[in-house]
Copies of this chain bind each other. A is one copy, B any other.
Amino acid sequence: MAQFKETTVQTKPIYDGKVISLQVDDVTLPNGKTSKREIVKHPGAVSVIPITENNKIIFVKQYRKPLEKTLVEIPAGKLEMGEKPEVTALRELEEETGYTTESLTYVTSFYTSPGFADEIMYIYKTNTLKKVEQPKPLDEDEFVELMELTLEEAEQLIVEQEIHDAKTIYAILYLKYKGLR
């Protein structure tokens, strides 16, 4: 497959923001022709499937400006520079749900949109939640509402398209396949 590699001729930075940056690369294609690749750079993200002792899953409901609508998702957040995904997972779990855990299980990871972005999403699971007395606060531009749902209730929200993002759709199929414990 080495012959399919695209070689960078030039990188043009377009935008450098607080979450993403955008660049356009001129590349040489395998057939010698040239093309442009629009590339979004993202620090990566981590999410957690938190399962309570009553076999409910904790979700966060939040407004997603790119979609102009509210989604119900598993807790998630961006990786800080140089941070291990497990550390991000625990921080986001605490900030968004008020829980922590001593036992985090790795579920999977995936690139969300390899055609135009380098974002990777790590997914963890825990079913040993511990309440934090004074949890770390949310980011100042973050507003979420917690929801505890059974797996069946969550599946119904997929039908209603309130649950509708990659990591959460994956998480629910994973729990159906593997069970909650």
Contact = CB atoms under 8 A, between A and B. Distances in A.
A145 interface: yes
Contacts of A115: 19, 45, 64, 66, 78
Interface string A24-37: 11010111010111
B61 A1 contact: yes
How would you classify the secondary structure of chain A's contact residues: helix, strand, loop or mixed?
Answer: mixed
Nearest to A41: B66
Interface residues of A, number: 66
A149 interface: no
A47 B24 CA distance: 25
A106 interface: no
Name, among A18, A30, A141, A174, the residue most crowded by chain B CB atoms within 10 Å (CB to CB): A141
A117 interface: yes
A67 B111 contact: yes
Contact of A117 (B38, B63, B66): B66
Contacts of A29: 141, 143
Given A65-B39, A70-B1, A111 B165 contact: yes
Interface in A59-95: 61-67, 70-71, 73, 78
A57 interface: no
A4 B63 contact: yes
Nearest to A36: B18
